[in-house]
Amino acid sequence: MSSYDVVIIGAGASGLLAARELARAGKKVRVLEARDRIGGRIHTIQKAGFSIPVETGAEFVHGDLPVSLGLLKEAGLEYLEMEGSAWRVEEGKVRQSDSSSIEEWDLLLEKMSQLTIDEPIGQFLETHFPDEEYKGLRESVTGFVEGYDAAETSKASTLALREEWSEENEAPQYRMPAGYSKLLAFLAIDCEKQGGEISLNALVTHVSWRKGHVEVQTSNEKTVHASQIIFTLPLGVWQAEPNSTGTIHMKPEIPAVRSAFQQMGFGAVIKFVLEFQSAFWEKEDPLTIQKMSELGFLFSDANIPTWWTQSPQKAPVLCGWLAGPKAVAYQKYTKEQLLVLAIDTLAYLFGTSSAVIEEQLVAEEITNWTIDPLTRGAYAYATVESKEALKIVSESVEDTLFFAGEALYDGPAMGTVEAAFASGLAVAHRIVKS
């Protein structure tokens, strides 16, 4: 048996930054990670056939976010601003897209500004925009909520979306050419330099606790003791059925916390990364009818509605994003079936045949985060009940049990790696001060 000041469950962004900060403050820290790697939903791989590192999970820094950019600078890691034009394909027709592409957007924001009592965005649309003339608006908003926020319109908070959309936010999007995992590796190395310990293949199954003491048991029958514990489990794991892989048996139970987690939203996602012989979408080529020069993002009415390139890098790589209820609909597809779906989708988007797309294909990587038992989805979104739920899970239990992660962040960067970093940092500082 080993004894520590703080034990942390999960070596993702939140857990590693919390561990690094606690170790710097002189705390004896142990991180227990169920996987055979660090990073959680950040996972960069080097795969044969690809000319660049492949981001199977988180890829972007969404704006000039202080914690993320500060850590990148501290680690000395290069980050580039996403470039390129946005394009849209609907009913087979291609056009360049812009921020004003959703008709009646100003009217939507005006109606939202008048809302005083929160309600799901789906209900809001049906109440305020029920007529046939607003069908396009309803479909556009639904597509955005499901695709970007990975949310269900029957649950997503209208007031939270109002806050998100009311900000005139044309913030830059950054990515790391060397891969996001390099930043997590930097944190892990720095944590260990400060005396922190990180254990992989350590799936936590049971936690027994009383004020000022926790006993943690792992699947390999090892026991760790600590004065305090930080849980950084993805929200999808908290919401899983009891006895599912990754769930933790608590003694005594924490029913208020369990219930609060059930009130929050967590979206599904399947991510596609495909490399081709060349960036055929940039060329005047008889193989492709739809040329999209300087392509950055591509939005559409296709089965996989969102794609993007590696701009400003010139790698002939397209990333596809299938999120929300659409991802749930395809979650039981095999990787072979999902690849066919991706090829057929790209054939539609570029006005060519599936055979042409398949002939161009060099390498593929498809990650279904929704069926991963240690994740069970993508990231959190705000429901009508989220604000009250966050008040519960943001507090410690007896100054002994603490909770962190992107789902516990309440602010404009919700659902991002920045949210995970900020949450872990805040909890670490609370523990040091206490």
> Residue 1 has what pLDDT?
59
Percent of the chain topping pLDDT 90: 87
**Do residues 364 and 193 lie in contact, with contact meaning Cβ atoms separated by under 8 Å?**
no
Q: Cα 181–343–316 angle (5° rounding)?
A: 50
Mean of pLDDT values over 75-103: 86
Q: Is 406 one of the annotated binding-site residues?
A: no
- Structure token digits, residue 119: 């309600």
Q: Report the SS3 class of residue 211.
A: coil
Banded model confidence at residue 412, pLDDT cuts 50, 70, 90: confident
Report whether pLDDT(289) > 70: no
Q: Quick check: pTM over 0.75? A: yes
Report whether pLDDT(434) > 90: no
Q: Is 67 one of the annotated binding-site residues?
A: no
pLDDT tens profile 233-262: 999 999 999 999 999 999 999 999 999 999
Q: Is 167 one of the annotated binding-site residues?
A: no
Report whether pLDDT(378) > 90: yes
Banded model confidence at residue 104, pLDDT cuts 50, 70, 90: confident
How would you label 143-168 residue by residue, b for 16+ Cβ within 10 Å and e otherwise?
bbbbbbbbbbbebbbbbbbbebeeee
Q: Is 14 one of the annotated binding-site residues?
A: yes
Residues 6+ apart with CB under 8 A from 115: 124, 158, 159, 162
